[in-house]
Amino acid sequence: MGGGKFGGSFIPETLKKPVEDLTNEFKRLRNNKEFLKKRDYYFKNYIGSPTSFVKLENLSGHLGGAQIWAKVVSEANGGAHKIYNATVHALICKAMGKKYIVGDTGAGYAGKMLSMAAKKFGLKCKIFMGAKDIKRQKPNCDAMRKNGAEIVPVYSGSQTLVDAVSECMRYWVSNCDNTHMCVGSTVGPNIFVKICGWSTAQISRELKTQLKKEFKKIPNKIKLINCVGGGSSAYGFWSEFIDFDKKQIELIGVEAGGPKKSKLHAAPLSRNAKVGILHGAASYVCQNKEGQINDTESISAGLDYPGVSPIHCFLKDSKRARYTYATDEDALNAHVMVTKFEKLNPSLEPSHAFAEAIKIAPKLSKDTIIIVNSCGDAKKDRDILRERLGKH
Amino acid sequence: MSSLLKKAFLNAKKENRPALLTYTVAGDNTKKKSLEILKSISNFADICELGFPHNTPIADGGQIQTSAYRAIKNGIKIKDVFSIVKNFKKSKKNTPIILMGYYNMIFQYNENKFLEKCKKTKVDGLIVVDLPYPENKSFASRCKKNGVNFIQLVSPTTSQIRLKKIIKDSHDMLYYISMLSTTGGKLKVSPKKILERYNKIKNQNKSKNVVIGFGITEKTIKSLKKADGLVVGSAICREISKSIERRQNTVTNVTNIVKRLRNKIQ
């Protein structure tokens, strides 16, 4: 079966046509030189590519063992990797002649970036967001409103990302004739996985060049560590390196383990969830025996999602990538340590990845290069950090 | 051998009216109550759709979501859904039952086991909201082999080529979604326009029974009575919510609304 077990397009009949139209349009655009030029222009001049690649000297020195580096994707315009997907979707929306764009958001970054891109390209924007997330990610909500987007609070279910995606899809079912939908991660019906992965792949293209420049060649022992919620930043960080031997470049995905004392988590890959269908695609999904989707819990709104990208399911099954999880407490501790030693302020999502780096670095040789994708900035986590750490 | 579904449409046609299809959620608000409701409304409805609730329904509006969440909260399981059907058929063996829901529930139960159970409890048809054509091809043909109608959906966005293929692959009944909407939306397309599109589908193959659903209420049902069948779901679910809120008898209230719906198309 290979990759055939995952992904797909499990969608209501009404969405068949708009999904097909989008699929055809994207097929055309991704091979269109003009469009690629446009993409590269905005990636460079609007997003600010390339983001920097830096050695975390102090943290490496403190831990001993492997060298720890960071790809500081949070330098991108808006403060996270979500800007790549948002920009590409806005460009596609324009190309298709649609004036309205809608999207989902958990941590608020996908929403903030979509609102930015919508403003930049003159589109009207609606963002669907769980009521719980609106409360805990206020700075990003303020930004969305400032950009002129309407935030639609979602009160159903657990009031988090999973419900936001459902509600956004429902809205699209009702308005697909004049509205373009952007799915905020490499999840959802197949075409959305494709578009998002194609967009975030910029991260690894840059990293490849930066590695060659820094080390003269691709080093022999690399570990690429990335947090995984839906999995868009991880896929973008890894895509250029998937064909490498895993002995040379190990791919490590870190999911949200939730609070230490809670049974709830958002780690379908590393905690052996079963395959199920969620939001139009087959993937490992946190669910009960009957197929009802489980509630998830994580301090990180961006990772707080019961499903995961079909691409990561495939990378797990083929053993190309290794998946583990970090608890809320691990992530908080990692955040504290990184900010103490470095001039870096990773949000709670990449703090999960840093937790794994901190855990394994001391046991590894000095010529091992650990690279963490610092894919989001912690400004949005201001309130949570204040509450949990007391200071800040 | 003619299916119960076909017979139900034929009976309605003899009376020169569309068949009335109702949709309720199994276990809303309890297993016992939903069976009572089903038995009572089947005195006025020709075909009963019974939802097996899912907690991430991507095509349902607020009313049906509320019913689904309520049923799940009250502990409904797939096995209960089948036992409701079984009990219903004990006293109403000639009323067709269509199960309706999302694919993950069937996938987790196992397609073949699910079908086996449908056959055993005498389920007449299946609607799987997020398993469109052609993804449903293999499952749909297995349904047919087991005497269960797999009901294909058609929407205003379905292209002409696709429509032809879907009709060719359909069984006794097709479900036309009246407009771009989740369930329970306000009818935003004129009945005239809906019937125009309906006729286009009907003209492809007159032997298929085509029902119209989405946005059908006491107010709108009469204007669409030329169709082979009309589905009312959200309006009924809303009545259940209202009755619970007012501490009134859900069975009586829901039966009354179905009775009124039936009178409007008589």
Q: What is the pLDDT of residues B183-196, one digit of tens each?
A: 999 999 999 999 99
Q: Tell me the DSSP string of A161-178.
A: HHHHHHHHHHHHHHHTTT
> Is residue A333's pLDDT more than 50?
yes
Which residue in A243, A202, A204 sits closest to A224, CA to CA?
A: A204
How distant is the alpha carbon of residue A322 from its chain centre? Answer: 17
Which residue in A143, A82, A95, A142 sits closest to A123, CA to CA?
A: A95
Q: A interface mutation test: which of B52, B108, B127, B177 has the most A CBs within 10 A?
A: B108
Tell me whether A291 touches chain B (CB under 8 Å). Answer: yes
**Proportion of chain B in helix, strand, coil states, percent, rounded to 5:** 50, 15, 35
Q: Which residues of A touch B102 (CB under 8 A)?
A: 277
The class level of CATH for A50-79+203-389 reads alpha beta
Arithmetic mean of pLDDT, A44-63? 98
> Is residue A383's pLDDT more than 80?
yes
Q: Spell out the residues 6+ positions from residue A274 whose beta carbon is closer than 8 angstroms to its own.
A: A284, A285, A287, B108
Tell the residue number behind the tokens 């960071």, with chain if given: A70
Tell the residue number behind the tokens 């373009």, with chain if given: A180
Half-sphere exposure of residue B266: CA atoms within 13 angstroms, side-chain side: 8
Does the ipTM surpass 0.90?
A: yes
| CATH of segment(s) B4-264 | 3.20.20.70
Interface touch B177/A166, C-beta < 8 Å: no
CB count, 10 Å around CB of A184? 33
Tell me whether A318 touches chain B (CB under 8 Å). Answer: no
pLDDT band at A95 (very low <50, low <70, confident <90, very high): very high
Q: Which residues of B touch A10 (CB under 8 A)?
A: 103, 130-132, 135
Interface touch A274/B131, C-beta < 8 Å: no
User: Facing residues of A126 across strands?
Assistant: A102, A150
Under 8 Å between Cβ of B70 and B29: yes
Interface touch B59/A8, C-beta < 8 Å: no
Tell the residue number behind the tokens 């052609």, with chain if given: B134
CATH 3.40.50.150 fits A15-44+81-197, yes or no: no
Burial of residue A34 (number of CB atoms within 10 Å: 0-12, 13-18, 19+): exposed
Half-sphere exposure of residue B88: CA atoms within 13 angstroms, side-chain side: 34
State the Cα–Cα distance between residues B210 and B200, nearest whole angstrom.
Answer: 11
Q: B interface mutation test: which of A13, A167, A192 has the most B CBs within 10 A?
A: A13
Tokens for A283, please give them. 């993937």
Q: What is the mean pLDDT of chain A?
A: 96
Interface touch A174/B78, C-beta < 8 Å: no
Cα dihedral B106, B49, B66, A177 sign:
positive
Half-sphere exposure of residue B257: CA atoms within 13 angstroms, side-chain side: 27
Half-sphere exposure of residue A384: CA atoms within 13 angstroms, side-chain side: 25
What DSSP element (H or E) covers A221?
Answer: none
CB count, 10 Å around CB of B203? 8
Tell me whether B165 touches chain A (CB under 8 Å). Answer: no
Which of B56, B58, B109 lies nearest to residue A12, judging by beta carbons?
B58
pTM: 0.96
Q: Which residues of B touch A164 (CB under 8 A)?
A: none
Interface touch A292/B54, C-beta < 8 Å: yes
Q: Where does CATH 3.40.50.1100 sit in chain A?
A: 15-44+81-197, 50-79+203-389
> Is residue A352's pLDDT more than 90?
yes
Tokens for B36, please give them. 């009572």
Which residue in A88, A115, A108, A87 sits closest to A26, CA to CA?
A: A88
Report residue A132: phi and psi, to 5°. -65, -40
Under 8 Å between Cβ of B70 and B88: no
- Separation in Å, CA B174 to CA A9, A384, B49, B197: 21, 51, 14, 13
* Per-residue model confidence as pLDDT tens digits over B212-246: 999 999 999 999 999 999 999 999 999 999 999 99
User: Facing residues of A128 across strands?
Assistant: A104, A152
> Is residue A391's pLDDT more than 70?
no
Omega of the bond prior to B134 within 30 degrees of 0, cis?
Answer: yes
Residues in chain A: 392
Q: Which residue of A has its CA nearest to B55?
A: A292
* Per-residue model confidence as pLDDT tens digits over A298-324: 999 999 999 999 999 999 999 999 999
Under 8 Å between Cβ of A49 and A73: no
* Per-residue model confidence as pLDDT tens digits over A243-272: 999 999 999 999 999 999 999 999 999 999
Tell me whether B263 touches chain A (CB under 8 Å). Answer: no
* Per-residue model confidence as pLDDT tens digits over A77-87: 999 999 999 99
State the Cα–Cα distance between residues B261 and B263, nearest whole angstrom.
Answer: 5
State the Cα–Cα distance between residues A138 and A133, nearest whole angstrom.
Answer: 8
The reported pLDDT for the residue numbered A3 is 46
How distant is the alpha carbon of residue A214 from its chain centre? Answer: 26
Interface touch A17/B135, C-beta < 8 Å: no
The reported pLDDT for the residue numbered B1 is 57
Residues in chain B, pLDDT under 50: none
pLDDT band at A351 (very low <50, low <70, confident <90, very high): very high
Interface touch B105/A290, C-beta < 8 Å: yes
Cα dihedral B102, B105, B109, B114 sign:
negative
* Per-residue model confidence as pLDDT tens digits over A115-142: 999 999 999 999 999 999 999 999 999 9
**Strand A67-71's sheet: what is its strand order?**
A53-55, A67-71, A369-373, A222-227, A249-256, A321-326
Q: Tell me the DSSP string of A245-296.
A: -TTTEEEEEEEE---TT-S--B-TTTTTPEEEEETTEEEEE-B-TTSPBPP-
What CA dihedral angle connects B30, B48, B38 and B71, to 10 degrees? 10
CB count, 10 Å around CB of A225? 28
Arithmetic mean of pLDDT, A342-371? 98
Q: What distance in Å separates residue B95's CA from the closest CA in chain A?
A: 27
Interface touch A12/B129, C-beta < 8 Å: yes
Show which residues of B are catalytic: 49, 60
Q: Which residues of B touch A100 (CB under 8 A)?
A: none
- Separation in Å, CA B92 to CA A105, A250, A311, B3, B78: 47, 62, 48, 15, 21
> Is residue A392's pLDDT more than 60?
no
Look up residue B214 and give its DSSP letter: S
Q: Which residues of B touch A13 (CB under 8 A)?
A: 132-133, 153-155, 157-158, 177
